Amino acid sequence: MIEIYTLGGFLEIGRNMTLIKYGEESILIDMGLHMPNYIELTEDEDIEKVDVSLLLNVGAIPDYTRIPNFESVRAIIPTHAHLDHLGAIPYVANLFPKASILGTSFSCEVLKKICKDERISLNNKVIALKSNAVARISQNLKIRLIPMTHSTPHTVMVVVETPEGKIAYANDFKFDKTPQIGKKPDKKLIKKAGPVKLLIMDTLYGSVLGKTPSEKVAKDMLQEILFDDQFPKIMLSL
């Protein structure tokens, strides 16, 4: 039987984490921070050490206590490098001794840099995958990564394959036809990954009618500001 545990990131911005369980094995997708709560806590000068229980108490990390068996978790998969999806891994991942961390190369490097800066040692193996990789997690669980455009490199959708069907996790994405980093979404690969038994999809402004502008729009606006004749004068006046 497939079980889904929504542990954070639903109806809120931050601390994204979802558990997909089949039988006695499970996969965690995303493990993020709730940034306002995290910043408020870490800026408190009376706090000597930021540990996992303290982060949990202030709502800065997902509610991992709802996971029925920590040793059942075989993999932790961040979909991309934003802190609301990856930032809790340094604090929480060691609770899952049998779980490897699988992510795209950019996400893995960001994670390693955070751990280095915070002087945190991860006991979990960190494995970098290509953004279109297929990986066998166990006899009953396999994942397929699908490249997706977002405002950070190497963002992926994750399709979890089980003997009872596929679950697609599509979180924080947009169909950008003119991405400034990476390739356009591969619609053929998305179609090839289906059909799915369940689609877990969440994206900011998903309920608002319209289309999110391409990253090219942001680039063009930035270029216009930087190369405007008045820009050097504005900077000097500051």
Q: Which domain holds residue 196?
A: 2-211
Sign of the C-alpha dihedral, residues 19, 21, 25, 27? negative
220 belongs to a structural domain: no
116 belongs to a structural domain: yes
pLDDT by residue (tens digit) across 78-117?
Answer: 999 999 999 999 999 999 999 999 999 999 999 999 999 9
Sign of the C-alpha dihedral, residues 198, 156, 142, 17? negative
Residue 237 pLDDT > 70, yes or no?
no
11 belongs to a structural domain: yes
Residue pair 177/210 in contact (Cβ under 8 Å)? The answer is no
Q: What share of the chain is helix, strand, coil (3-state, %, to 5)?
A: 30, 25, 45
Which of the four pLDDT bands, split at 50, 70 and 90, describes residue 123? very high
- Please state, in angstroms and rounded to a whole number, the distance separating the CA atoms of residues 151 and 80: 10
CATH number at residue 92: 3.60.15.10
Residue pair 154/104 in contact (Cβ under 8 Å)? The answer is yes
218 belongs to a structural domain: no
217 belongs to a structural domain: no
112 belongs to a structural domain: yes
DSSP characters over 167-199: EEEEES-B--SS-SSSPPP-HHHHHHH---SEE
- Please state, in angstroms and rounded to a whole number, the distance separating the CA atoms of residues 95 and 88: 12
Give the total number of structural domains in the chain: 1
Residue 233 pLDDT > 60, yes or no?
no
- Please state, in angstroms and rounded to a whole number, the distance separating the CA atoms of residues 45 and 237: 35
96 belongs to a structural domain: yes
pTM: 0.90
